[in-house]
Amino acid sequence: MAKILPFQGIRPTRDKVSLVSCRSFEDYSAVELAYLIDYNPFSFLHVLHPAYVNPQKVTSDKRFKMVAAKLKDFKKENILVQEDKPIFYLYQIQTRHHVFTGIIAGTTLEDYRSDVILKHEDTLEYRVELFKEYLDYGRFNTEPVLMMYPDQEHINHWIDQCKTTRPIYDFSTVDKQRHTLWRVEDDKDITWLCEQFEQVDRMYIADGHHRFASANLLQEEDPENLKGHNHSVMTYLISERNLKIYEYNRIIHDLNNYTKEEFLELLEQKFIIKNKEQQLWKPTQKMEFGMYLDGDFYSLKLRNTKRTNDILQQLDAQILYDEVLHPILGLDDLRNDARIDYIPGNESIVTIKEMVDDGEYEVGFMLYPTNVEEIKEVAENNLIMPPKSTYIEPKFMNGLLIYEI
């Protein structure tokens, strides 16, 4: 049974929410960051990276202390306010192509350890350690873990009813997204929601594995450091039907010393290859791959599909690695090899074409997206997907809600 917890969130005042909230720090170019930090005194970027001007001269512990101090400044200046009591939130993100609606709540480290909450991605030790240090100094998180749960019709109906009430926020951003937030403060609603999730056997981390792992490590190292409801993580709970799962496409800098002709000959041993020439082509089914090489698009269809009950061997990302990236292109460590980069599937394949045409990369591969059932099967079998198998939306705004620990 899953346990969810209301929390006493900290959030921007209604008049400043569009000025405070921001995308993840890594999403901005250096020019954008400089502009926002120089000209928007309310941006949460001031909290996230207060040492922006001279980051290389500031140690991580000092920077994290500055983050905590800047958050206190925002609270003292009434840019941020705290709820009077623990509550839930309903949050809707409307992009150009999709509408995502979910519940913001705390989920417990106990459920994470007891496999009520399951994961499908591996974590990097250094990233877990770094974010644990950030949590230890900063004592807050503002980017929830994206968690999916099996679709529940009664919860869907409740969400629809909540959306007829007046939200506390309803604003648009320069990337043409609309963000709407409702407070769920009625005790009856809070109790009812908790009861509904108690009937959910399993939930699945869709995005944010490192954040959960870091909170768990912090609590394990110092159990007395986090008390009461703070043995939990802020989570954006969303029905599995409401997720949008994209592939991660691959671009590689070189052909591992093969000529184009030699490379195509090696591929033909394993794939049926069709030259699509200038057609912007991408796969339409599993075990089919797109490729862009030397000005032409190609379709690659696996000649011999292996019958296997191993879910990992059925994943297109694993097949591409086993058949092409590792044996032909000589790529071993997909996380750390500098010869390969990744383009999320929500970007046009024109991006891949342009990057290859510019000469920095030799070849690009387009994959068919993984589906929800594959993610769940991997997680339920305690397995780990290949690196960069999925790019999942929605993405959360920083500074919209702050979860103190």
Residue 122: per-residue pLDDT:
86
Residue 310: per-residue pLDDT:
84
In a domain, 37, yes or no: yes
In a domain, 104, yes or no: yes
Q: Are residues 255 and 192 in the same domain?
A: no
Segment 270-321, tens digit of pLDDT: 999 999 999 999 999 999 999 999 999 999 999 887 767 788 889 999 999 9
Taking the C-alpha atoms of residue 125 and residue 214, their distance in angstroms, rounded to an integer, is: 9
CB proximity list for 280: less than 8 A, separation 6 or greater:
297, 349, 350, 353
Residue 326: give its domain's CATH number.
3.30.1760
> Taking a C-beta distance cutoff of 8 angstroms, is the pair 190, 182 a contact?
no
Q: Are residues 361 and 398 in the same domain?
A: no
Segment 4-16, tens digit of pLDDT: 999 999 999 999 9
In a domain, 374, yes or no: no
Higher pLDDT, 56 or 189: 189
Residue 41: per-residue pLDDT:
94
In a domain, 388, yes or no: no
Give CB contacts under 8 A, 24+ apart, made by 271-275.
Answer: 271/300, 271/301, 271/302, 271/303, 271/323, 272/300, 272/301, 272/303, 273/298, 273/299, 273/300, 274/298, 274/299, 274/301
Q: Are residues 45 and 184 in the same domain?
A: yes
In a domain, 74, yes or no: yes
* Torsion-angle region of 229 (φ positive above 0: left; ψ -120 to 50: alpha; else: beta): alpha
Element (H, E) at 11: strand 10-12
Segment 97-140, tens digit of pLDDT: 899 999 999 999 999 999 999 999 988 888 899 999 989 888 89
Mean pLDDT, to the nearest integer, of 151-157?
Answer: 95
In a domain, 127, yes or no: yes
Q: Are residues 41 and 29 in the same domain?
A: yes
In a domain, 377, yes or no: no
Q: Are residues 71 and 179 in the same domain?
A: yes
Q: Are residues 54 and 129 in the same domain?
A: yes
Q: Are residues 260 and 229 in the same domain?
A: no
> Taking a C-beta distance cutoff of 8 angstroms, is the pair 334, 386 a contact?
yes
Dihedral angle sign, alpha carbons of residues 166, 168, 173, 175: negative
pLDDT band at 144 (very low <50, low <70, confident <90, very high): very high
Q: Are residues 270 and 304 in the same domain?
A: yes
For the chain, give the mean pLDDT.
92
Q: Are residues 238 and 261 in the same domain?
A: no
Domain that holds residue 105: 4-245+393-404
Asked if pLDDT for residue 51 goes beyond 80, the answer is: no
Q: Are residues 306 and 238 in the same domain?
A: no
Q: How many domains, in total, are found in the chain?
A: 2
Phi, psi of 330 (to 5 degrees): 70, 25
Phi, psi of 117 (to 5 degrees): -105, 120
Segment 369-404, tens digit of pLDDT: 999 999 999 999 999 999 899 999 999 999 999 999
Q: Are residues 263 and 228 in the same domain?
A: no
Q: Are residues 203 and 179 in the same domain?
A: yes
In a domain, 71, yes or no: yes
